[in-house]
Amino acid sequence: MKYSRKISPLIILLLLIPISACSESEGPALKEGPGGNIRPPAVAGGFYPANPSRLREMIRGFLDEADVEEPGGEVLALIVPHAGYVYSGPTAAFSFKLLKDSGVKTVFLIGCSHKAYFPGVSVFGDDGYRTPLGVVPVDKKLANWIREQDKNFNYFPQGHSQEHSLEVELPFLQEVLKEFRIVPILIGQADDRVIDKLGKVLAEAMEKTPEAIIVCSTDMTHYPPDGDSRRIDRETLEAIRSMDREKVVAVREKYIPGKVSNLVCTLCGEKAVLATMEAAEILGVDRVEILNHSNSADSSYGDKNRVVGYGAVAFIRTSESKNPVKEKIMNEEKIVDEGLSEASRQRLLEIARQALTDAVNGRPLPDEPVDDPELQGHQGAFVTLNERGQLRGCIGQFTANRPLYQVVRGMALAASLRDTRFRPVQPGELDDIKIEISVLSPMRRISDPMKEVELGKHGIYIKRGWRTGTYLPQVATEHHMSKEEFLSSCAAHKAGLPPDAWKDPETEVYVYTAEVFGEGER
């Protein structure tokens, strides 16, 4: 039996499903099953049928209707929606059909928490998930390994107990795969550094796990009218296709807050998507296919004035790479440890100068790629502008989801036009401005700043709640600061905290190193 994209009210009535377009309705948790360390289904009978035979029939109908071409390469990751099946099931089937007869044995299932608040990332720590189709076992060894990779990776049982976004993917997986294990990962309150790290860890986990795939669960626009939803979703999907994570964020920033009626998000699982894109890039994905796009208005029960969008996306590696994960990570670590060559330093300064000149003169920044392998690593950087010995602008970022040369281009523009401490740089000033670049190492949290901070070597980053501040390593030496002055000044003048806030255990203090070089140096 095949299901069309328009499902009749009679079929819906027979299935007795209290349907949900995304996450507003929650079905009853089923308490039967082995108990113990097996999570029971929380939304069976709500987001999808609780009756096993009806569930299988519904999924098979969706899969039969999904017309998907051969991927022409290795599918390493998928994006799938997670709403009620009568809404998003037809689109989800486009992604899951690629897994039929694929031999996948391990699924890294990643999404964002909708119901529970917790810090960082929660990697499921128990034995399995139950659905009406049976128990899906968890690869506990892999889950434990992931939790060991970062202090922000833990297990919060309350995060998983009622969360629908991972559960609704499991019946599809049970239909298209044979014997397989899952590693369920939910993202809570996590900053860019944690998401970047999760992407890298997922890539490493994929590399060490044969016959594995990442399945990223997200819906798209929430609650705008039909036409607005389709337009914004297309922009988001094109940003994902470009493999540029900043473009994905830029679509959200373009519309939220904004004037589109009832729009509350562009991707409810944005952080999961960004982590998946980071992993895909490291793994050598060189093609992204948009398999299908729909929204809840395509269902018989949809309301065109208030819709949720759905997308199916495949990340495909068509070119062979001997070991793309290790090659990329080793290259980045080598650059951090040994520093840039003189030729790469000069190339980066030329890139910054060109970006500065174009930005100040109102021209778009160049977008041509740079083939220098030393400038491909994803590192944070600051660009500092000095005019006749006086600071004229300084802006940077600590983490990066794009190559170093692109970071420097962006920071050169920002330092010249967006440093709110100064008026924008004018074309007549360009000849008097000297550029200094600070290429940053990853940050490391410390517990005893007075012992662990090394003046002249370490930059510091102080964070408490939403207040943050940083000093580059050269600040301490240029201003002849003691260690206590360095920490106290950063807390007070950069983070807006009391001068001694760095002494409080609740204040987070991080250190990093910086490779600093500028124009006129040889």
Q: Where are the domains of the chain?
A: 9-211+219-317, 322-439, 443-522
CA-CA distance, 303 to 297, in Å (whole number)? 5
Using a pLDDT cut of 90, give the percent of the chain over it. Answer: 74
Contact predicate 38/128, CB 8 Å: yes
Is pLDDT at 1 greater than 70 in this prediction? no
Q: How confident is the model at residue 15 (pLDDT cuts 50, 70, 90)?
A: very low
Q: Compute the average pLDDT of residues 442-466.
A: 89
- Return the pLDDT at 76: 97
Return left, alpha or beta for 265; rule: phi > 0 is left, psi -120 to 50 is alpha, else beta: beta
Mean pLDDT value of segment 118-141: 96
**More confident: 400 or 246:** 246
Average pLDDT over residues 109-122: 95
DSSP string, 117-133: --BSEEE--SSEEEETT
Residue 25 pLDDT? 35
- CATH hierarchy code of domain 9-211+219-317: 3.40.830.10
Query: CATH top-level class for 322-439?
Result: alpha beta
How many percent of the chain have pLDDT more than 70? 88
pLDDT digits (tens, 9 = 90+) for 55-113: 999 999 999 999 998 888 999 999 999 999 999 999 999 999 999 989 999 999 999 99
Please give the backbone phi and psi of residue 286, each rounded to the nearest 5 degrees, phi first: -125, 10
**Cβ-based neighbour number of residue 337 at 10 Å:** 8
Size (the chain), residues: 522
> Measuring CA to CA, which residue among 438, 439, 412 is closest to residue 335?
439
**pLDDT at residue number 335:** 46
- Cα 371 to chain centroid distance, Å, stands at 25
Per-residue model confidence as pLDDT tens digits over 259-318: 999 999 999 999 999 999 999 999 999 899 999 999 999 998 889 999 999 999 999 998
Q: Mean pLDDT over all residues of the chain?
A: 88
Instruction: State the pTM of this model.
Output: 0.61
Q: How confident is the model at residue 201 (pLDDT cuts 50, 70, 90)?
A: very high
Confidence of residue 332 (pLDDT cuts 50, 70, 90): very low
Q: So what's the pLDDT on residue 22?
A: 59
Strand residues in 54-150 grouped as ranges (E): 74-80, 106-112, 121-123, 128-131, 134-137
What residues contact residue 100 under an 8 Å CB cut-off, 6+ apart? 63, 176
Cβ partners under 8 Å of residue 339, min gap 6: 515
Distance CA 132, CA 150 (A): 34
pLDDT at 27: 34
Instruction: Give the Cα separation of 95 and 143 in Å (integer).
Output: 24
The architecture that CATH gives domain 443-522 is: 2-Layer Sandwich (3.30)
Q: What are the angstrom distances between the C-alpha of 115 and each of 144, 147, 159, 228?
A: 24, 22, 7, 26
Which of 123-127, 364-368, 445-449 is most confident?
123-127
| Cα 486 to Cα 381, 447, 455, 476, distances in angstroms | 20, 16, 8, 6
Per-residue model confidence (pLDDT) at position 338: 58
> Residue 244 to residues 77, 192, 197, 310: CA-CA distances in angstroms?
16, 15, 17, 20
pLDDT band, very low/low/confident/very high, at 14 (cuts 50, 70, 90): very low
Please state the rounded mean pLDDT for residues 385-414. Answer: 90
pLDDT, position 209: 92
